[in-house]
Amino acid sequence: DQQVKQNSPSLSVQEGRISILNCDYTNSMFDYFLWYKKYPAEGPTFLISISSIKDKNEDGRFTVFLNKSAKHLSLHIVPSQPGDSAVYFCAASGNSGGGADGLTFGKGTHLIIQP
Amino acid sequence: DGGITQSPKYLFRKEGQNVTLSCEQNLNHDAMYWYRQDPGQGLRLIYYSQIVNDFQKGDIAEGYSVSREKKESFPLTVTSAQKNPTAFYLCASSVSFNEKLFFGSGTQLSVL
């Protein structure tokens, strides 16, 4: 049972426009959320995070929004640049009640920035 | 430069062979992890270690083994019991458990 879902396997956006990547979760015990960016044959790199006490966190071109009632978070990238083309993973952690489980990752969304 | 080093970058396994993937970190992190990535899939947790001399099974531990004899090192052995070992393996570490992970550059394991 997937606890973290990224329902769009891929997303194509024009350069300069806004990219919005979505993530849904089912476990209400999650209280810390992260976004990672991954290029092919490389390890993921941390982008931005948000704790459940906030509903928004910004870092330069990247903003993460958290809607706890909807169990939904989104990553906004504006403006989108060619180097943003990568796979983006949403991850969540928290006390899941069953002991420590580490971060739970979604399947990723492949973002393609078109010139 | 602080970071996580995985080696080798590419590894080939013959049928019935055990292979060991290396992971070393000089970030002084307590927690270390092994994930597996298959095409079109997310990252699935194989094993994790919150502290030296302790490790726990993740979601897909069958066919794998680990050790954590030193804080800096967390090698993963893919045993012959793992029937579908071809995947991209990622090692990670964090200051403490369940915090932001820092990843290595990965090892691609293929079966000959």
pLDDT tens for chain B, residues 1 to 112? 669 999 999 999 888 899 999 999 999 999 999 999 998 788 999 999 999 999 999 989 999 999 999 999 999 999 998 989 999 999 999 998 878 899 999 999 998 8
**Looking at chain A, which runs of residues are DSSP E strands?**
4-5, 10-14, 19-25, 30-38, 45-51, 56-59, 62-67, 72-77, 86-94, 104-105, 109-114
Q: How far apart are CA B94 and CA B72, in angstroms?
A: 12
Instruction: Confirm if B103 and B92 have CB atoms less than 8 A apart.
Output: yes
Q: How far apart are CA B74 and CA B52, in angstroms?
A: 9
| CB-based contacts of A58, cutoff 8 Å, min separation 6 | none
Residue A101 in contact with partner chain B when CB distance is under 8 A: yes
Q: Which two tokens stand for residue A2?
A: 């997937």
Q: Which two tokens stand for residue B86?
A: 């071809």
Task: State how far residue B107 is from chain A, nearest Cα, in angstroms.
Answer: 8
Q: Do A41 and B106 touch (CB under 8 A)?
A: yes
Q: Which of A68, A31, A89, A107 lies closest to B101, judged by CA? A: A89
Task: State how far residue A35 is from chain B, nearest Cα, in angstroms.
Answer: 10
Q: Which two tokens stand for residue A38?
A: 């991954």
CA–chain centroid gap for B90, Å, is: 6
Indicate whether A100 pLDDT > 90: no
Closest B-chain CA to A107: B42
Instruction: Tell me which DSSP letter residue A84 carries.
Output: G
User: Does residue B79 or residue A97 have the better pLDDT?
Assistant: B79
Indicate whether A96 pLDDT > 60: no
Q: Do B88 and A42 touch (CB under 8 A)?
A: no
